[in-house]
Amino acid sequence: MVEDLNRIGRATGTEAKAAEMTAALTARIEVIVERAKDADNHPSVLHVEWADPIMCGGHWVPEMTELAGGTNSFGDKDTGTLKLDWDEVVASQPEIIIMMQCGFDVKRALEDMPLMKAKDGWASLPAVKNNRVYVVDAGSYTSRSGPRLVTGLEIMAEMIHPELFSGLIPESAALRLFGDLAKTG
């Protein structure tokens, strides 16, 4: 994404502005990467890009997870979105679940929570038991390649390592689910 901004700057004769922008974005990324190196653990993260059928985030999302100090439950930076088998999801025992349905804001993504909560084994997942289920405004911060992906990275960093990061999540950009919002019953 950073190189794309530089390319656009060259094509439009605005190289200096593009360089300024990319330097600022790169600095923000480097802060996350450096601080994430101090993490004692690298929790497994499941990114739900679609709830039914269940699909995980691909493309740049796995790389964002790694930069933020997490480990991907499924997918890597060289693959696109993957359709998942729910039994494999349960077997993977994700420590963190980030609901980031493609193009959805937080309110719309919450509408899919009943689909997730109805799945066999949902309540047994470590992420659910430990209140580590989050909903993100994917339409703004994770679904589209652009400068806001850096804010998406900052959001993920705070979700994955709240002991290292705080105050990075813009208001209305994400929600942590507790109790009945995340669990069945």
**What is the model's pTM?**
0.89
Task: Name the DSSP letter for residue 77.
Answer: T
Query: For residues 99 and 175, what is the distance between their CA atoms, to the nearest angstrom?
Result: 10
Query: For residues 154 and 146, what is the distance between their CA atoms, to the nearest angstrom?
Result: 14
pLDDT for 92: 96
| From the candidate CATH numbers 3.40.50.720, 3.40.50.1980, 3.50.50.60, 3.40.50.1220, the one assigned to the domain spanning 41-181 | 3.40.50.1980
How far from each other are the two terminal CA atoms of the chain, in whole angstroms?
Answer: 42
Please return the burial class of 181, using the count of CB atoms within 10 Å of its CB with bins 0-12, 13-18 and 19+: middle
pLDDT for 166: 86
pLDDT for 7: 81
pLDDT for 180: 64
pLDDT for 132: 94
Quick: pLDDT tens for 57-98.
777 888 999 999 999 888 777 777 889 999 999 999 999 999
Average pLDDT per run of 10 along the chain, which is 185 residues long? 75 86 90 94 94 85 92 79 92 95 88 92 95 90 81 93 88 76 60
